[in-house]
Structure 1
């Protein structure tokens, strides 16, 4: 047993030395191999690697995954109109140069986040300060994000950082100007509504006037055609009457008298106050049309 113990101790020492000479780089990591305090190699591919045991060589791991910086509180940024906006943004970034990143920040990602946040704040101010509220909120929003990304990426590259994307997530008015902005928007919408109502009223009057004009034209045309037809009918009737009178004047006179009797006594109780010798009663009891005899006088 006494002989076995030194062998076990030696085996443990050998295993410890061998384990200190090996290291594994995972898919999500970058590795910096240091030799006596200086960077000897940068390892970006995952796998099993060998090195000298400490203190001759040691390894520092960095996270190579895509990381996100989100603002905890919206940034208060002033526009060209001197109005404050509350802007909430986020940034996607990752380590592009492990050696430069380590030289700048060490293995502390928090320091990198603080530096990037300051750069983002500066770029956001520079992009928003020269624009109006309308441009920031709607028309130039994509342009602002591109400008911020370009500015931050340029400034972050010497730090070993690659800025992948910048997004403005939410843009709100500061509380002190929200009411005035909403009132102005309401006034603009009311003005637009009144303009549309006025335009619609004008169009309505124009359409109504056009319809009335066409109606008058149609009525006038129809009245003219009716008068022409009536005139043609009257002319035809007159011609028929004339031909009938020319053929038998006595029968024509008798026929007209019958029509007069029919119209005069059409209603029950009709009464006429006429002289019995009137020509109106010429055919009343004399089919030949003899003139009625004069009434006897006392």
Structure 2
């Protein structure tokens, strides 16, 4: 019985010591075995691991990709147009032993504090070297890459790998919004006025060209009409001349008939003439007398 009394406590102590010497490394983490604050072993593979009880301790660090939001910071681009930038970064602990030496017992909180300083400095440096239009345009991807590459070099002594850096929001300070909107509105009004002026100038050119084309077309049409009319008159005169030459008496008769037709129209049939007027030559001629006698019969 006495032996049993002594053996049981020893077994219990042995079990406790054995249990405290075994620990499990999760696949989502890395572990450091420390002895009096010094790194004695690094456990990166998941599974069971061992340590010396009471003398050694285990410190665990997350091996997953972590996110860090960088608080709002104000940057001044080359054109002195201040902007408020909100960014975030994704990182992971690449070298857990170096990470421990760099941050000590502060762990993730100390590392993220230093990352904030690195990211803020890189963001101000990169965005301060370009204009605000570049920051607000599609060139932001190239700027974020520059910030990331600069932060990778500075974060390496921490044992941290920067995976990505993104600008979430890029706005104007609230104090500058009203003046900026007014300036943008004035620029748009000026551009609209310039566009309208250029449009009016173009319209004037088109109208002037159209007016000139109309004048040229009308003038050419009149010229061709006068030419055609002249040719027709010449042809008519030629026909009259041929007719007059063929039968002068008939030509005189024809001209007299035209004169009578023109003179004796409705509302214009009263004439005061002497009976021996030349106007009645045909009526007094033999042909006219014969015509009158035929009419009386």
TM-score, normalised via structure 1 length: 0.80
Write the deviation string for residues 74-102 of structure 1: whole angstroms up to 9, x where unpaired. Answer: 21233445543211111111111111112
Contact 1:128/1:136 (<8 A) preserved: yes
Equivalent in the alignment of 1:33: 33
Contact 1:60/1:107 (<8 A) preserved: no
Equivalent in the alignment of 1:294: none
Distance in 2 separating the partners of 1:144 and 1:28:
32
Q: Secondary structure at the match of 1:55?
A: coil
1:21-60 equivalences under 5 Å are 21-35=21-35, 37-45=37-45, 47-52=46-51, 54-60=53-59
Gaps of 5+ in 2: 290-297
Equivalent in the alignment of 2:207: 208
In the alignment, which of 71, 75, 88 is matched to residue 90 of structure 1? 88
Q: Secondary structure at the match of 2:68?
A: strand
Contact 1:254/1:289 (<8 A) preserved: no
Write the deviation string for residues 155-179 of structure 1: whole angstroms up to 9, x where unpaired. Answer: 1100011111222221211122222
Distance in 1 separating the partners of 2:251 and 2:19:
145
Equivalent in the alignment of 1:196: 195
- More helix as a share of residues: 2
1:243 matched to 2:242? The reply is: yes
Q: Secondary structure at the match of 2:88?
A: strand
Contact 1:95/1:162 (<8 A) preserved: yes
Write the deviation string for residues 1-60 of structure 1: whole angstroms up to 9, x where unpaired. Answer: xxx999999987777666545444333222223456433333333x32231452354432
TM-score, normalised via structure 2 length: 0.80
| Root mean square deviation, CA, Å | 3.4
Deviation of 1:146 (Å):
3.0
